[in-house]
Each structure stands twice: as C-alpha cells, then as structure tokens.
Amino acid sequence: MSARQPIRQRQPDRAIFSRHYHRAANEPTIIPRMNRRDMEKFREDRKTRLLKRFSIAMAVASLALGLLLVSLLFIFR
C-alpha cells in the first residue's frame, strides 16, 4: 500500500443497515457493540430460525412427494 493512497472511509451505516436503511442520510448511525453473550444468543437465534425454516421445507417436500406417490398409485393401478 503506497503512502499516496488515501485511507478509504468506511460507511458502516450503509454496510450494516443496507437491507433496512430508512433513515436520514446525515443522521449518524449508532452501531451497538455486542458482547460475547449477546453474540452467542444472536447465533443461537439464527440457528434455531434456520432449523425451523429447514424443517418446514422438509415437511412441505415430504407432503408433495406423498401426494405424487398416491397420485401415481391411483393412475397405474
């Protein structure tokens, strides 16, 4: 890295809150510092959410497969 290059200013508000950015552009963004316990809780919440979504998807897929099997049995009996 040459000394001539300016250090790029990060924009944490746009990076972190880009999905739900509904705030005045000149308003400062406060990024809460998470301690370890909050991080663990957040990770657990994310894991359980993903698990719930995966289980719902599996239930829907198994239901669709069951209906397909029943319809095939009715067609080819």
pLDDT at 40: 80
What is the chain's pLDDT, residue by residue, as a tens digit (77 residues)? Answer: 556 666 655 555 555 555 555 555 666 666 667 777 777 877 788 888 889 999 999 999 999 999 999 999 999 88
Reading the block at residue 50, the tokens are: 């993903």
- The angle at the Cα of 50, spanning 44 to 56, to the nearest 5 degrees, equals 135
What residue has token string 């880009």? 18
pLDDT at site 70: 96
pTM over 0.85: no
User: Which among 26, 1, 2 has a CA at the least distance from the CA of 13?
Assistant: 26
Rounded Cα–Cα distance for residues 18 and 23 (Å)? 11
